[in-house]
Structure 1
Amino acid sequence: MTAAIRKTVTVPLRPDAAFDLFTKGLDTWWPKAANGDRRPRKLRLDPRKGGHLTETRADGETARWATVTRWEPGRNLSLAWVHGGDADEASEVVVVFTPVDDGTRVDLTHAGIGSRRTEMAMLWTHAFLRLPLGRPVFA
């Protein structure tokens, strides 16, 4: 098993607002050119346990990236991540939101990735560089 990806960033927001940026604002900070695909797309996270993270491409085609396994606004989010893979081989994304003096520390762990670790590490690194700004990434 490959090592888990771990990313941390502090955002100048309260935990509930940081959680909203991470979940409701996902489409503003996630890399638009993931996997080398430069077509416009929209990401949506259904805000509940059992909800799905879904991509809708410019041609209307949709793909499920993940299923929400834990939903605690302002505190915790966990996803069974299948982006481009088989649901039976889902990896786990856990995001913890901790209040700190200058905002909220966002700690992400992505475990059980397997052969896509290098690709996912680059994507999370790129995404976490932009998360505090809540602005689109065009890589």
Structure 2
Amino acid sequence: MPERQVNTQDTMTMEVEAQVVEPVRKSIRVRADAARAFRIFTEEMDSWWPRTHHIGSSPMKRVVVEGRPMGAIFTEQEDGTNCPWGSVLTWEPPHLFVMAWQIKPDWQFEPDLSKCSEVEVRFTPADDGTTLVELEHRGLQRHGMGCAKMREQVNAEGGWGALLGMFAAKADEAS
């Protein structure tokens, strides 16, 4: 009987898929009601998302979030192209927004949703008129071999914590 060859890349990929990478969790309280906070985070993402955070091939003009299940999330670039980087998975204003993070560890677009992580954002109103915004970036192991690097980057100083801070500044300004 001939020996069976093992593809090292396939074995490594299966090992990564078998492990669970700890989600990135961040939260912030904003001085806005849940409906306004949800709207600013999603429909008005362009008002707070930094122009440096994109995967397009030219400078970013604006971020677009199509507010519906399976709506696209993309940036319009200065060269006239649109650069997709996410899809809306759950759209439940004003309490829940979930998107597929369609960005590979090498910061390129990933069209296959089965290879994408998810970002869930919950908006919980408080009695004092503020809203607790909780973000969880999960399923990072779906990114394969670069999943640990991806987690490190979205959890780093310029990652989700900083982005929530920019969002909160805009939400607080609008109140």
Whether the 8 Å CA contact 2:54–2:75 is kept in 1: the answer is no
1:133 matched to 2:169: yes
1:79-137 deviations in whole A, cap 9, x for unaligned?
A: 111033422311011110000124100000001222311222232121111111218xx
Match of 2:10 in 1: none
Matches within 5 A, 1:48-127: 48-83=68-103, 84-86=108-110, 87=112, 88-100=114-126, 101-113=128-140, 114=147, 115-122=149-156, 123-127=159-163
> Which protein has greater RCO, CA pairs closer than 8 Å, 6+ apart?
1
Task: For residue 41 of structure 1, report the CA deviation from its aligned partner.
Answer: 2.6
Q: How many residues align?
A: 135
1:23-78 deviations in whole A, cap 9, x for unaligned?
A: 01111222221269892331000010110111111111211111111100111011
SS of structure 1 residue aligned to 2:123: strand
Instruction: Judge which range, 110-119 or 98-107, deviates more.
Output: 110-119
1:10 matched to 2:29: yes
Whether the 8 Å CA contact 2:124–2:132 is kept in 1: the answer is yes
Q: Do the aligned partners of residues 35 and 120 (structure 1) sit closer, same or farther apart at CA in structure 2, a change above 3 Å counting?
A: farther
Read off the aligned partner of 1:57 and give its amino acid letter. Answer: Q
Normalized per residue, the structure richer in strand is 1
SS of structure 2 residue aligned to 1:21: helix
1:22 matched to 2:56: no
- Take 2:55 and 2:162, find their aligned partners in 1: how far apart are those partners? 13
Instruction: Judge which range, 83-92 or 56-65, deviates more.
Output: 83-92
Q: TM-score, normalised by structure 2?
A: 0.70
CA RMSD of aligned residues (A): 2.1
Q: Do the aligned partners of residues 36 and 74 (structure 1) sit closer, same or farther apart at CA in structure 2, a change above 3 Å counting?
A: closer
Instruction: Judge which range, 100-109 or 35-44, deviates more.
Output: 35-44
Q: Do the aligned partners of residues 104 and 27 (structure 1) sit closer, same or farther apart at CA in structure 2, a change above 3 Å counting?
A: same
Whether the 8 Å CA contact 2:55–2:83 is kept in 1: the answer is no
